[in-house]
Amino acid sequence: MIGHYSQLQGWRLVPLGLVFLASGAWRGGLRGWLPHQVSGRTALAVGIATALALSFPIKRWYRRTFGGARSDSAWRDTAGLFVITAGFIICTVVADRVRMVSIPALFVGCALLSTFIASDGRRWHYAVVASSWLLFSIAPATRLDLSIRATLLDALIGGSLIVCGLGDHRLLSKALAVGAAHARFD
């Protein structure tokens, strides 16, 4: 698990998750807290930029709190990201031909499930989130209004980022605490 130190810095995902939850609330009708001069698109862009900017001080906090660790899987991480991105783009193109299932949501659910499997079940929170995405993938078959599906999608993205982020942080903290305890007795 320590070899995945940078991927397990879960607090870095939480601000972005909060942005998507706020976007879902905005889409769901809670718009009173945004000034009238600011569009939803502008607020989302500013929120995402702010969340990404917050990622850097959180990364520094992890380094100060837990120290640094080198990932021995940098090429695999890059290759995995490329495969996931290519798969998502292909699924988005194919999605126009399939009407009863959301192919991109199905793909995200499968990618999250593969993360759970690859971790030998240690990242069990990914299985929970994957099941939510797999359930959401049948939303087109329910004939829900597109605005409701968009609201649910934002909420699902935000909730997924928060659950995965907090679960990964907990896993990293636990692994480093166990590692530190073993180091004291060696």
pLDDT of 38-79, one tens digit each?
677 888 888 999 999 998 999 888 888 877 665 555 555 566
State pLDDT tens for residues 78-92. 666 666 677 667 666
- CA dist 67 and 17 (Å) reads 25
In whole angstroms, give the CA distance from residue 136 to residue 140. 9
Asked whether 145 and 104 are in contact (CB, 8 A), the reply is no
Residue 183 — pLDDT band, cuts 50, 70, 90?
very low
- Give the tens place of pLDDT for each residue, 16-47: 999 999 888 888 877 666 666 667 788 888 89
Widest Cα–Cα separation across the chain: 62
Residue 161 has pLDDT above 90, yes or no: yes
DSSP class per residue in 36-47 = TTS-HHHHHHHH
The pLDDT of residue 182 = 44
Predicted model pTM = 0.76
